Amino acid sequence: MKKVLLLTLLPVAAMATSIKAIGENYQDWDLVCDNTGTCRMAGYQEKGDDPVSILFTRAAGENATVEGKLTILPFGEADRDVQVGQDIEIWLNGKSLGKVKHISDDEPDKLTEEQTKALLSGLKKESEIRLTYGKTTLKVSDKGAAAAMLKMDEFQQRLNTPSALIRQGQEKHAVLAPKVKPKIDAVSVNNRKTIELKHGEKQFNHVLALLRKAHDGCYDGDLESQNIMIYPLTQNKVLAEALCFKGAYQSTNYYAVLDDKLSNVEQVLAEQYNEAGYDEKQGYAFVRGSYKGHAFGDCWNGQDAVWNGKIFIRTSDWMTGGCYKWFTGGAWQLPTFVSDIIVK
């Protein structure tokens, strides 16, 4: 009997060479650093204030600069929402840092290099950051920013060097070097016609029994409550999709790779994903998971994996941070694992 293979999280090469990612919260600021060494630091309003967020992004490497962006949650009120083409003025401790033009409602607005440097300098200590446009004033909290910057410097091995954000010095030791994104193979699937095994039918019962035998972590009542979908793969393999657990505001699926005779489970992907399909442009099969961290849906985490012809391989991990900051869908997507997909 073949051994069931649990989901391989990362390719062997990636595990050997990549950086261990982190995701941490410091009061009103989140810090997330990915497997290439890039760090993203997002700050929000204080509790009770109107939603606003600033994101600072810095790659690894001694000469890497910091990029700043801002985003504002629409109020749904014409006199309070920032309009395309409108200027947003940025204030630090009562001093204007100049204006940023709101270019699009679909993309965050970019801060200038000078504005970014000034805000980072101010956030080393207690500071007041305000954004104004029209009659609206929004405030970005400083609480936790200095701790997040210190952790970013520590992660990127900048402490006590000239490139540190908050604990600068003249030490000459090497800082963290940026890593190249791992390349992960994916195989295009020619036959993408799915099959539905209906509840109660002989083939449904047969596959359900195989799934139960391969993994016992799903809620049994949910597992048998819905039809099982079969997605064709390559190499005489298929992907089975069944419900694993259904909660109050989200659910997770049970995925398994089987031979196309539906006689044996070869890989289990359970309790991590809730969507499967094929890439519209390149035709490779994927599984995807996205889960709320808060019922309102303002903070999420997720991951993706692709079929490489033998097994599903993880291609991304991400979170949004910002729980209880009220940005529907999250203000930012903050990856902990990134890769390049190479389609064959």
Residue 77 sits in a domain whose CATH number is: 2.60.40.1880
Interacting residues of 234 by C-beta distance below 8 A, sequence separation 6+: 187, 189, 190, 307, 309
Q: Supply the mean pLDDT for the chain.
A: 92
Residue 319, pLDDT above cutoff 90: yes
Mean pLDDT over 78-101 rounds to 93
Alpha-carbon gap, residue 231 to 257, rounded angstroms: 9
Residue 167 lies in a domain: no
- 328 and 188, same domain (yes or no): yes
- 272 and 132, same domain (yes or no): no
Alpha-carbon gap, residue 282 to 234, rounded angstroms: 14
Residue 153, pLDDT above cutoff 80: yes
- 120 and 187, same domain (yes or no): no
pLDDT at 17: 61
pLDDT at 297: 84
Domain boundary among 106, 138, 155: 155
Give the structural domain span for 134.
21-155
The string of pLDDT tens digits covering residues 177-187 is 999 999 999 99
pLDDT at 270: 84
Residue 164 lies in a domain: no
Domain boundary among 138, 155, 172: 155
Indicate the number of domains in the chain: 2
Q: How confident is the model at residue 1 (pLDDT cuts 50, 70, 90)?
A: very low
pLDDT at 51: 93
pLDDT at 6: 46
- 217 and 329, same domain (yes or no): yes
- 201 and 335, same domain (yes or no): yes
Residue 8, pLDDT above cutoff 50: no
For 338, the 3-state DSSP assignment is: coil
pLDDT at 3: 39
Mean pLDDT over 171-178 rounds to 94
Q: How confident is the model at residue 5 (pLDDT cuts 50, 70, 90)?
A: very low
pLDDT at 254: 96
- 135 and 274, same domain (yes or no): no
Q: How confident is the model at residue 248 (pLDDT cuts 50, 70, 90)?
A: confident
Q: Residue 262 has what DSSP assignment?
A: S
Residue 160 lies in a domain: no
- 240 and 335, same domain (yes or no): yes
Q: Which residue has the tokens 């990636």?
A: 14
- 209 and 271, same domain (yes or no): yes
Q: How confident is the model at residue 338 (pLDDT cuts 50, 70, 90)?
A: very high
Residue 2, pLDDT above cutoff 70: no
- 146 and 234, same domain (yes or no): no
Residue 31, pLDDT above cutoff 70: yes
- 278 and 151, same domain (yes or no): no
- 132 and 87, same domain (yes or no): yes
pLDDT at 30: 97
Q: Which residue has the higher pLDDT, 134 or 15?
A: 134
Residue 124 lies in a domain: yes
Residue 155, pLDDT above cutoff 70: yes
Mean pLDDT over 189-204 rounds to 95
pLDDT at 225: 87
pLDDT at 256: 97
Residue 90 lies in a domain: yes
% helix, strand, coil for the chain, step of 5: 15, 40, 50
Mean pLDDT over 206-234 rounds to 93
Mean pLDDT over 16-36 rounds to 91
- 188 and 151, same domain (yes or no): no
pLDDT at 221: 84
Q: Which residue has the higher pLDDT, 120 or 247?
A: 120
Q: Do the beta carbons of residue 36 and residue 178 sit within 8 Å?
A: yes
Share of the chain above pLDDT 70, in %: 95
Residue 171 lies in a domain: no
Residue 287 lies in a domain: yes
Q: How confident is the model at residue 296 (pLDDT cuts 50, 70, 90)?
A: confident
Domain boundary among 155, 190, 224: 155
Residue 277, pLDDT above cutoff 50: yes
Q: Do the beta carbons of residue 67 and residue 343 sit within 8 Å?
A: no
DSSP assignments along 18-69, one per residue: SPPPEEEEETTEEEEE-TTS-EEEEEEPPTTSPPEEEEEEE-SSTT--EEEE
Residue 174 lies in a domain: no
Interacting residues of 77 by C-beta distance below 8 A, sequence separation 6+: none
Element spanning 275, H or E = strand 275-278
Q: Do the beta carbons of residue 110 and residue 100 sit within 8 Å?
A: yes
Q: Which residue has the higher pLDDT, 243 or 295?
A: 243
Alpha-carbon gap, residue 176 to 187, rounded angstroms: 34
The CA-atom distances, in angstroms, between 6 and each of 135, 257, 271 are 56, 10, 12
Q: Which of 158, 193, 197 is nearest to 176 (CA)?
A: 158
